[in-house]
Structure 1
Amino acid sequence: MAIGDLYPVETGDCTDLYYIDTGMYDTPEYGAVYILDAERPAVVDTGIGMRYDAILDAIERVGIARDELEIIAPTHIHLDHAGGAGYLARDCPNADVVVHERGARHLVDPSRLIAGTKAAVEDQWEFYREPISVPEDRIRELTDGDIIDLGTHQLVTHHVPGHAPHQVVFEDPENNAVFTADAAGIYVPAIDAVRQTTPPPDFDLEQCLADIELIQSLDPETLLYAHYGPAPTEHRLDEYADVLTEWVESVEMVRQQKDDVVDHFIAETPMSGVWGERKARAEAAMNTRGVLRYLDTRHD
C-alpha cells in the first residue's frame, strides 16, 4: 500500500466505491479521496490540491471519463478536503461542485480560506497547492437534508458543524455507509484507532459530540474516513466521543499547570512512529491550539 494507490472499498456491503491515497503532507495513509462509480459518477473530497492529477488518473482507471464525472462533493471547505476542487472542476467540465451553503462563496474566492489555512497549518503550507477558484455557476449549495441523486446511489446531506460550520457528512444508504468528513475523527489503520482532530478556529466539543450522535443515529455499517480509509463502524464512534472528551480534559488540565501547553503536547505525541515526526508534531500543535481557543471562547 503506497501513496497514489487505488483500492476498491470492500468493507461491509459497499459496491461501486473506490479510494485513492493522496499522500497528503507526504504521509501515506493520511488522506483519502473517494470515487463513487454510480450512474452519475461522483468524487467525495478532493485533497489539498497536490497530486490532483493522480485523482484524475484514478477516476479514469475506475472507468470514468473526465467529462462523465457529474459530482465533486467536498465534505467541507478546509483545504485538506476542498483544495483540489477547482482543479478537478477545471478538468472535469460537466461536474457540479456541491458544498454546504456556508462554504460555497469561499470556493469561488478562496483568498480568506488560504489565509485561514496558513494560520492554522503554519509551515505545513508547503505541502499545499494554491487553490484555484471554482466558477460560481458550477457550484450547487447544499443544506441539511438535501439529497444528491446519483441514480444508482444517493448521497444524503447531514450538517455536522462541530468541526467547522460548513461541514457535512454524506450518507450513502445503498452502501449503508457514511462519508465522515472530520466528524468521526482520524482513523489510523496502522494502529486500528481513532485520533482527535480539533483545529482552530471553530472546534466546539459539545457540537462535535452531538455530531457523533447524529452519525450513530444513521446506524451505518461502514465509516468512510477522509483521514484515512474505510472501516467497519463497530465501536469507533463511541471510541471517538471518549477520545475527544479526554483530549479536551487533558489540554485544560495542562493549561492550569503550564504556560507552554502546545510545546508540552508536541513533545508528548505518540504518533511520530506512524506519521513521522514532522507531521505528528504539527498535528499535535494544531489540535492543541484548537482546544485552547475553544476553552477561551466557550463561555462567550
Structure 2
Amino acid sequence: MTTEIGTVHEVTAGDCADCYYIDTGMYDTPEYGAVYIVDDDRPAVVETGLGTNHELILEALAELGIDREELAAIAVTHIHLDHAGGAGYLAEACPNADVYVPSPGAGLLVDPTRLVEGTKAAVGDQWEFYVEPKPIVKDRIVELEDGDVVDLGTHELRVHEAPGHAFHQVVFEDPANDAVFTGDAAGIWVPETEEIRETSPPSDFHLEQCLEDVETLKAIDPDVLLYTHFGPREVGDDAADALEAYATVLEEWVATVAEKRAELEDDAAVIDYFAGSEEMADVWGERKAGAEAAMNARGVLGYLDERD
C-alpha cells in the first residue's frame, strides 16, 4: 500500500500501539521521509522532516486529538536537516514541548549557521527543497546521552548511541512496542521494492562504526524497525538477518565505490558515474535517485580518504 502525503497512518506492524506516522513528501518524493507520533500521557513527535511541510505534522497532531499545548516531546535521532529541520518550527508551534537532541549536535540547533552551510555543501541543488531552520532557544533543548530514557508514560524512548552515519546520531528503543526508531542507522527501507539501501553522506560516514551500530541494533533485537526513510517494517524473529543484510549492503557499496575510484582515478568522474545510475529512478524519480547516489558516493570517498 502506497502512503499518501500528509495522511495519518497507524503503525500496525508487530504489536505496536499508540504509534502513527505520516509521509511529509520530502524532496517531493513519496515514501522517502516519515515523521512518527507517539500518542501517550506525554505525547511525542519523533523526527521532524526538512521543515518545509511541518504544518502536515501539526495537522496530524490535531487529527489524533493532541493539542499543540499538550505535545511534550520533540525527539530527533540526529541533526541532519532531513531529520531535525522542522524541530524549531514545531517548538515554536508547541510551546510546552521539550526538544530532545543528541548532545554532540545540540548546539547546532541553537545556532544552525554551520549546519546550514554543511547541508548546502552535502546536498547541492537539492537545497531548494529545504527551508532555513529556526534556531531553538537553548532552554527548550534536552541533551541526550547514551543510556538516557525519555519517559512518555506507557512508552519510553531509550537512547542508544549510533554514531556511524553521523557523530551526533542515536536510535530510540521503545520497549513497550518492541520497536526501534532507527534514524539512518539501519539504512533506507524502500517499501515499494522491499529492499534496503545504503546511506553514506559526507562528511561523517564511517563504515566500521556503522557496522558497530548494526551490532547495537541486533543486540536490542526489535520486532519492528521504524525507519525515517521510510516507514515501519516488521522483522520479528528475523531482526538479526535483516540488520546483517544492511551491513552487507554497506560493505558492498563501499567496495563498489573504491573499485570505481581505482578504475577512473578521478573523484568527479566517480560521482558523475553513480549520479547517472538508473537503479532507483523508477522509485524515487531520476533527480532524487541521482542526487542520492552522488551524495552517498561523496561520503564514501571522504571515508576512504580518512581510512587511507
TM > 0.5: yes
Who is 2:305 aligned against? 296
Flag as ranges the 4+ runs of structure 1 deviating above 3 A.
none
Residue 271 of structure 1, aligned match among 267, 280, 284:
280
**Displacement of 1:129:** 1.0
Who is 1:184 aligned against? 186
**Displacement of 1:6:** 1.3
What is the SS of the residue equivalent to 1:285? helix
Q: How does 1:47-126 map to 2 (within 5 A)?
A: 47-126=49-128
**Displacement of 1:268:** 2.4
Question: What is the one-letter code of the residue matched to 1:84?
Answer: G
**Displacement of 1:5:** 1.5
Question: What is the one-letter code of the residue matched to 1:202?
Answer: D
- The superposition leaves residues 137-181 of structure 1 with CA deviations (integer Å, 9 ceiling, x where unpaired) of 000001000000111111100010000011000000000000000
Who is 1:239 aligned against? 245
Question: What is the one-letter code of the residue matched to 2:288?
Answer: K
Distance (whole Å) between structure 2 residues aligned to residue 172 and residue 60 of structure 1: 23
Residue 293 of structure 2, aligned match among 273, 280, 284:
284
Of stretches 195-204 and 230-239 in structure 1, the one that deviates more from structure 2 is 230-239
What is the SS of the residue equivalent to 1:102? helix
Please state if 1:228 is matched with 2:230. Answer: yes
Among the aligned pairs, what percent are the same residue? Answer: 62
**Displacement of 1:238:** 1.4
Segments of 5+ residues of structure 2 without an aligned counterpart are none
Distance (whole Å) between structure 1 residues aligned to residue 69 and residue 89 of structure 2: 14
Distance (whole Å) between structure 1 residues aligned to residue 112 and residue 242 of structure 2: 34
Residue 12 of structure 1, aligned match among 11, 14, 26:
14
**Displacement of 1:88:** 0.1
Instruction: Give the conservation status (yes or no) of the 8 Å contact 2:200–2:300.
Output: yes
Instruction: Give the conservation status (yes or no) of the 8 Å contact 1:17–1:36.
Output: yes
Q: CA RMSD in A?
A: 0.7
State the aligned residue count: 299
Instruction: Give the conservation status (yes or no) of the 8 Å contact 2:278–2:286.
Output: no
Distance (whole Å) between structure 1 residues aligned to residue 290 and residue 271 of structure 2: 10
Distance (whole Å) between structure 1 residues aligned to residue 20 and residue 213 of structure 2: 25
Segments of 5+ residues of structure 1 without an aligned counterpart are none
Q: How does 1:246-265 map to 2 (within 5 A)?
A: 246-258=252-264, 259=266, 260-265=269-274
Distance (whole Å) between structure 1 residues aligned to residue 86 and residue 275 of structure 2: 29
What is the SS of the residue equivalent to 1:224? strand
Residue 195 of structure 2, aligned match among 193, 196, 218:
193
- The superposition leaves residues 102-156 of structure 1 with CA deviations (integer Å, 9 ceiling, x where unpaired) of 0110110000000000000000000001100111100000100000011111110
Distance (whole Å) between structure 2 residues aligned to residue 273 and residue 30 of structure 1: 13
Residue 153 of structure 2, aligned match among 123, 145, 151:
151
Instruction: Give the conservation status (yes or no) of the 8 Å contact 2:27–2:126.
Output: yes
Distance (whole Å) between structure 1 residues aligned to residue 198 and residue 146 of structure 2: 24
Distance (whole Å) between structure 1 residues aligned to residue 100 and residue 55 of structure 2: 20
Question: What is the one-letter code of the residue matched to 1:279?
Answer: K
What is the SS of the residue equivalent to 2:21? strand
Instruction: Give the conservation status (yes or no) of the 8 Å contact 1:21–1:32.
Output: yes
What is the SS of the residue equivalent to 2:186? coil
Instruction: Give the conservation status (yes or no) of the 8 Å contact 1:162–1:202.
Output: yes
Who is 1:39 aligned against? 41
Question: What is the one-letter code of the residue matched to 2:270?
Answer: V
- The superposition leaves residues 213-234 of structure 1 with CA deviations (integer Å, 9 ceiling, x where unpaired) of 1001001000000000000123
